[in-house]
A and B are shown apart, each in its own frame.
Chain A
Amino acid sequence: MGKIDVRVTTSSLEMSDCFSLKPSPGHGAMNSFVGNVRNLNLGKTVIKMEYDCFIPLCEKTFFDIAKEAQDKWCTDANILIVHRHGKVEVGEASVVIFATTGHRDEAYRITRYIIEEIKVRAPIWKKEFYENGETDWVRGHALCQHRKVDHHENGRGHSCGREILSHEAR
């Protein structure tokens, strides 16, 4: 099996740290996804974001998602997931995902799968700070309590398929 490294951190995400994920000798591809805090959501000007995490379950969820991705596409993929906790300024990275694999197709699929699953499964919340001084917690996707029963029964993936409650532009 490939290596899986997952973390939640209050530190800035430096790309150089992320390149600590070394590809195995047989890996010809490395793909990354970086999510940044943007300055606009649903017409409101955002000046910063504060992330709240239930860290133990969050890191376990990251690991589970990474393992699922390995099982689906490339068991020897090396995967890194790092997510910010606490205040993050506009333009800063909130999440980075790296995957190294034998070929590029698996690397693309793995990083895409991981970010989509994080958005609906990881216990993370964000509070937006607006230009006018107001703040609001972004409402998101209700966690599926029955995931442990049904998430392998559906060949389309692991998300529970509940309606997205979010007012966030995803």
Chain B
Amino acid sequence: MNEIEIRLFGAFRKFVSSGSIKVHIPSQFTVAQLKEIVKCELQRQSSEFTDSNLVYESAVATESEVLAEDDMVKDLRHLALLPPVCGG
């Protein structure tokens, strides 16, 4: 099992004050599978988190790129969960 730190932004911040969560996943795992684990961890950490769609609408990214749902999360220790964006 690999430990991955997931940084949280935007609307996720109200559920986890530290701004990140840690999850453990098998070495061969897709982004879509990771999002299921993250959703469960958010539900475990905050009873206020009830909007699962927010996770499904979110992207998973490294510091340099947004990952596709079927990308493998392999050799990555730090990722970010990015809810729908609204810059400008």
Residues of A within 8 A of B (CB): 35, 51-54, 56-58, 60, 83, 94-95, 115, 118-127, 137-149, 165-166, 168
CB–CB B86/A140 < 8 A:
yes
B29: min CB distance to chain A, Å: 16
Q: In the complex, which residues of chain B have a beta carbon less than 8 angstroms from the beta carbon of A58?
A: 87
Residues of B within 8 A of A (CB): 7, 9-11, 13-14, 31, 57-69, 80, 82-88
CB–CB B63/A124 < 8 A:
no
A57: min CB distance to chain B, Å: 6
CB–CB A124/B87 < 8 A:
yes
Besides A143-B66, A145-B69, A148-B68, 14 other A-B contacts (C-beta < 8 A): A35-B88, A52-B13, A83-B87, A95-B88, A119-B88, A123-B9, A124-B85, A124-B88, A125-B11, A138-B86, A139-B11, A139-B84, A145-B60, A145-B68
With A and B bound together, what is the CA distance between A119 and B85 in angstroms? 7
A29: min CB distance to chain B, Å: 23
